Copies of this chain bind each other. A is one copy, B any other.
Amino acid sequence: MARHIMTLTCDDRPGIVAAVSSALLQVSANIIENQQYSDEDTNLFFMRTVFDCNAADVERVRQAIATSPAVVSAALSVRPADERCRTIILVSKFDHCLLDLLHRWKSGDLPIDIVGVVSNHEDCRGLVEYYGLPFTVIPVTPDTKAAAEGQLLEMVAAHDVGLVVLARYMQILSDGLCRELAGRAINIHHSFLPGFKGAKPYHQAHDRGVKLIGASAHYVTADLDEGPIIEQDVVRVTHAETPERLVAIGRDVERRVLSRAVRDHAESRVFLAGRRTIVF
């Protein structure tokens, strides 16, 4: 018996759970975890089930679910639970989020395989190489942007990458790249969205005099800072913090939020429902 994770998104209609249940019953699978949610806004149904069964029976389970009349317009995935999400990390000069991801990855905290770290600057090479990972510099200028994005996409395709993490990557992705990476590129924005979109959010936060600052991890979309939010958190501040001090305080919450979002994605816990996410 091997552990598997099934994820299913489909139109919400009666009989889906029954279809999944009977598909698992027929191969005597043992359900370990199960979450489901019916979203009224999109009329979509979401399900994540962890189960044990003979590896030989997985295809039968998949077929039974996919061909059930109750399961319509489905996105269905069944994968071994120990399969790790192949990941590329994009970074510029700030290394706090990168370091956090590397440390958690090495500690076994994150079920990802880091294929490589890509940057438009040399700054983080030492850190990445200390962790024994390939570091690729792809400079980005207005003239080379298209080529740079093409090079990144080649890496994504070559390594069958399931996740691209923008760990304080200070370049705006083109609309085309956003579309290519839809649902598998996570950005960390250094504010509690939807407050303080755009540039210099900590300065905006200081000007507005908020008493908490935050960070938001979201899927990247062409609509800047408007992508579906996966995870957010905040930390208390006072009037006495300068914008510079807010930046320093914010580093803690940025890295915490980004790492949680990466883990959720890598464990197949995050589903897209329009501009929102379902996180099991």
Contact = CB atoms under 8 A, between A and B. Distances in A.
Contacts of A273: 209, 239
Interface residues of A, number: 63
A98 to B, nearest CB: 11
Given A192-B192, A211-B229, A256-B252, A276 B239 contact: yes
Interface of A: 14-15, 17-18, 21-22, 24-25, 28, 30-41, 96, 99, 103, 107-109, 126-127, 130, 192-196, 207-212, 214, 228-234, 238-240, 242, 248, 251-252, 256, 273, 275-279
A279 B14 contact: no
Nearest to A249: B109
A229 B209 contact: yes
Nearest to A218: B209
A212 B233 CA distance: 7
Contact of A99 (B103, B196, B233): B103
A278 B237 CA distance: 12
- Protomer copies: 4
A275 B208 CA distance: 7
Contacts of A275: 207-209
A103 B130 CA distance: 14
Contacts of A32: 36, 38
22 contacts: A14-B28, A18-B24, A18-B25, A21-B31, A22-B22, A33-B36, A34-B35, A37-B240, A41-B207, A96-B103, A96-B107, A107-B251, A108-B248, A109-B251, A193-B195, A207-B276, A209-B229, A210-B232, A211-B231, A212-B234, A239-B273, A239-B279
B14 A25 contact: no
A14 B36 contact: no
A15 B1 CA distance: 14
